[in-house]
Amino acid sequence: MKRNENTEDMRDIVREAYGQIARQGKSCCGDSPCCSGPSADSVATTIGYSEEELASLPEGANMGLSCGNPTALASLKPGEVVLDLGSGGGFDVFLAAQKVGPSGCVIGVDMTAEMISKARRNAESFRETTGLDNVEFHLGEIEHLPVANTSVDVVISNCVINLSLDKPQVWREIARVLKPGGRVAVSDLALLQPLPEALRESVQALVGCIAGAVLVDETRAMVRAAGLTDAVFEAKSDYMDQMTEWSDPLYREIAEKLPPRTKPSDYVTSLSITARKPKQGA
């Protein structure tokens, strides 16, 4: 997709929405009483994070923005260099940092200045409590990563790529920064079937990671076109059912725009993606 006025307008909408989340410290309604769903930690344990992992995080790092657990998918090893796309307050960065240890490094990239500021404050607390000084956060767009070619062992991302207005470029950037033999582990939202028009035009649905999602087959094609191999895709539609049952106000609004007798999980799934960059000469 070419950069144009509409593209920049939508990017600004997403940036402002996530800046507000950073200021509020959570992904729902701020201090409004409409936030009747579970805590961010409850959401995280439901999608695969352990209570021990959550207890190790700086306060406020988890804002309930996950739709999977890419750090588990990545099988991180000590000494690896990890890049987190759309790192927010540092949730997955801090978990990955404990897995790669002092000989490793985890880099977070986010396009929202408020998120980067929050993550850097969290990093100070992380250093004090763990003794680890192996994280860094950079302001930047995931379509144009501020990272050198072939410098990263593992790329992770959690419920972010769907927000990009140029997803093929994101996957090309992932391939560019990965070392030969490096791997990617992504949790994202994807479509099982096209969304109704009312949802495709909904700003709230875009901020909620739904209107920006594409079909699973489209995602598979983008991964392949970027030159990544050994790709595995696992759909987990029960995530959307849980969001609806939790009475999250955003997902209630989305459900109201669906055709009668349908539900969000008929259209949207949490998708786990793993893939690898071929080794040189392979």
Q: pLDDT tens digits, residue range 106-136?
A: 999 999 999 999 999 999 999 999 999 999 9
What does the block give as tokens for 198? 């009312």
| pLDDT, tens digit (0-9, with 9 covering 90-100), for 173-211 | 999 999 999 999 999 989 898 887 777 666 555 555 666
Look at residue 45 and tell me if it is in a domain: yes
Look at residue 71 and tell me if it is in a domain: yes
Look at residue 282 and tell me if it is in a domain: no
Can you give the C-alpha Rg of the chain in angstroms?
18
Which is more confident, 128 or 26? 128
Give dist(CA 275, CA 282) in Å, integer.
Answer: 15
Look at residue 142 and tell me if it is in a domain: yes
Q: Express as a percent the part of the chain with pLDDT over 90.
A: 50
Average pLDDT, the chain: 84
Residue 125 CB-half CA count within 13 A: 15
What does the block give as tokens for 136? 């860094």
- Range of the structural domain that residue 224 is part of: 5-276
Question: Residue by residue, what is the 3-state secondary structure of the chain?
Answer: CCCCHHHHHHHHHHHHHHHHHHHHCCCCCCCCCCCCCCCHHHHHHHCCCCHHHHHCCCCCCCCCCCCCCHHHHHCCCCCCEEEEECCCCCHHHHHHHHHHCCCCEEEEEECCHHHHHHHHHHHHHHHHHHCCCCEEEEECECCECCCCCCCEEEEEEECCHHHCCCHHHHHHHHHHHEEEEEEEEEEEEEECCCCCHHHHCCHHHHHCCCCCCCEHHHHHHHHHHCCCEEEEEEEECHHHHHHHHCCCHHHHHHHHCCCCCCCHHHCEEEEEEEEECCCCCC
Look at residue 110 and tell me if it is in a domain: yes
Give dist(CA 7, CA 217) in Å, integer.
Answer: 23
CATH number at residue 171: 3.40.50.150
What does the block give as tokens for 99? 């897995």
Amino acid letter at 258? L
Look at residue 229 and tell me if it is in a domain: yes
Look at residue 281 and tell me if it is in a domain: no
Look at residue 123 and tell me if it is in a domain: yes
From 39-53, 81-95, 105-119, 197-211, the region with the lowest mean pLDDT: 197-211
Considering its fold, how many domains does the chain have in total? 1
Mean pLDDT of 8-31: 62
